[in-house]
Amino acid sequence: MTFIEFKKHLLDIEMTLPKFCDLIKVSDKNIQSYKKKGQVPNAIAAVVTCFVALHKNNIDFKTLIKELNLRKKTKKGGFSKNKIK
């Protein structure tokens, strides 16, 4: 799925990119990076396509996703806590 198709799907479900990212607990920057690539990953394409189908059938997908209690992953970057001797 192209990034443009992805954005059109977000319009179909009346959702902004930041709200979508918050709902599925991914970084806004992460999704924005796919704009340069022109394509979104298969998993993101599948999720937004399912959201569109649920929305068209008047199913409250937002509540379903929130009930999953997803957690945003954080990077544990930086140097090791152990000092090199």
- Residue 37 CA to residue 46 CA, distance in Å, equals 18
pLDDT at res. 11: 98
pLDDT (mean) for 44-72: 97
- Backbone angles phi and psi of 39, in degrees to 5: -130, 150
Per residue in 17-40, is it b (16+ CB within 10 Å) or e — as a string?
eeebbebbebeeeebeebeeeeeb
pLDDT at res. 23: 97
pLDDT at res. 73: 84
pLDDT (mean) for 14-27: 96
pTM of the shown model: 0.82
75: helix, strand or coil: coil
